Each structure stands twice: as structure tokens, then as C-alpha cells.
Amino acid sequence: MTVYLNGQFLALEDAKVSVLDRGFIYGDGVYELVPVYGRRPYRLQQHLARLKRSLAGIRLTNPHTDAEWEAIISELIGRMPFADQGVYFQVTRGVAKRDHAFPAGVAPTVFMMSNPLVLPSHEQIERGVAVVTAVDERWLHCDLKTISLLGNVLARQLAADAGATETVLFRNGYLTEASASNVLLVRNGVIVAPPKDNQILPGITYDVAFELAREGGLPIEVRPVSKDEALAADEMWLSSSTKEVLAVTALDGRPFYGGKPGPVFRKVHALFQASKTA
């Protein structure tokens, strides 16, 4: 498998980073994951805009222009033997003697790889998936897509331990998001989701879901959602670049609402599938 590291396309085995890289030592970096359908990156501009926002949020200079990012991504996509891909890339603050404060004059480390895009199975789409719930114990910059993911990793493991797909998080009694997805709800036919503040990642799929819902004439509300309200919702969905939109049909070991994906989910899921080839 070919990967990209600091200006070069290399075999995965030959791509080496120093143990002093601040990504390794501090988790000091940001990342993106862009889904690719039929060799075409989906919503690339939005992902590059979010990357810029994350970089600015950790005070790291963007090492590439959008045109350069696009060229590297497209070169890597072309080198992969599969059509549907997940392009992962990260930028760290580079290699320096260990000291918390930013090093001066250090080049960032840029790494990119592309894996086959593993989408939800037919069964997961048709039957929905199980989630567990937990308290959101992460920091207060969840809007930045940083590689410091320990809080998300620990949350996600709770789902793995329970044989569930995701862990849905609540902070101070309010819904934030899940360990690697956004969470949207349906109440009385209205799609409801928490606002894109500092407590959640501004998901590209979350935006797409709202955009498609708007175009499809479905009512939408963006506002804080209490845990009680979330648990009483008619439908709950996960959204992410690899899950697309996925219905939640079991929560903490009990069937969620009807125990099967709801009608609003089916509409938005169909609109999403159509948007992939539009």
C-alpha cells in the first residue's frame, strides 16, 4: 500500500516518523477523513475548510494550499486499486525536543493514507444499530478535529465492550454527539440536532443531512437537546463520513422507539445515497 509522507509517496513499510514527533508525544495535530465514492472525493471543499479551521484552532500554519491538498489527495486516490476510499490525513506540529511550548522553525509532519471505504452493511441500514450512552468527559474544543482522541477512544470502547456500534454522549444532561459520529433526532416529524458549538465536531455529514432535509422540505430544528428529550425521540440517527446516516434502534440494551429505522430516516438515507452520485 502506498502512503504519503512529507512530500513523498512511499510504501507503507517505508513511511517512518520520529518518536519525537509531537503527534506521538502530545497528540499535537489535527486530521481529516474524506470519503471517496467511485474515485471522486465527496464534499472535499468542506473537509479542507474544516481542516483550516482545526489548524487555526491549534495555531498551526496550514502547510498546503487547497490546490496542493487536492493534488496530493487525487494522486493518492489514483494509486489505490479500489474505487470507494476513505482518505485519512493528518498534520502534526513536527519533530522537536520534548517541551510543551511550540517549537520554533519546525516543519509540520504531513501524513496521508487511503483505505477501502467500509460502509454500513445492508443489515445495519435496514435494521439499525445499537448504541450505549455515557457522560461526555472530553475537553471543551470538540469542534476541532484533533488527533488527541483519548476521550473519544475511551467512549467508543464502552460501545465495543457492550457489542454496540456507538456511544452517545451527554454533557450536563444535554446531548453532544457520539464517540465518532454526530447524533440527530426526529421528534413529531421534525429533525432536531444540537448546534455546532465547541462541544461537538461540525460534521460534514451532519451538514449534508440538513442540506438534503431542507431540499426535501423536511422541517429542521437546531437547538440544545436534553437527555430526557433525546431518549423520548421518535428516531435517533448517527451521521459520519463512514456511517453516512445510520438509524439507532437499540439504546443501552433496550429497543429504541419502534426498534426499527423510522420513516424520516428512510427519506434522508435515500436522499443521501442519491447525493453520492449527483
Ligand X SMILES: Cc1ncc(COP(=O)(O)O)c(C=O)c1O
**CA–CA separation, 128 and 152 (whole Å):** 22
Q: Is 92 exposed, middle or buried (0-12, 13-18, 19+ CB in 10 A)?
A: buried
Which residues is 247 bridged to in the sheet? Answer: 237
Q: Considering beta carbons, is residue 95 or 225 the nearer one to ligand X?
A: 225
Which span sits near ligand X by CB under 6 A: 60-68, 96-104, 200-208, 253-261? 200-208
Residue 46 corresponds to which cell in the numbers above? 468542506
Q: Which of 52, 97, 145, 227 is catalytic?
A: 145
Site for ligand X in 142-161 (CB under 6 A): 152
Which span sits near ligand X by CB under 6 A: 67-75, 99-107, 173-181, 247-255? 173-181
In whole angstroms, the minimum distance from the beta carbon of 13 to ligand X comes to: 27
- Verify whether residue 243 is a known catalytic residue: no
Does 177 interact with ligand X (rule: CB under 6 A)?
yes
Q: Please pick, from the candidates 51, 76, 91, 204, the single residue that binds ligand X as defined by CB under 6 A.
A: 204
Contact 226, 175 (CB under 8 A): yes
Q: Name the DSSP class of 119.
A: P
Binding mask of the shown chain, residues 23 to 62, with x at each position contacting ligand X by CB under 6 A? ----------x-----------------------------
Please list, in sequence order, all residues whose beta carbon lies within 8 angstroms of the beta carbon of residue 224, skipping any fewer than 6 positions away: 174, 175, 194, 195
Contact 60, 110 (CB under 8 A): no
The residues that touch ligand X, with contacts defined as CB under 6 A, are 33, 152, 177, 180-182, 201, 203-206, 239-241
Catalytically annotated residues: 145
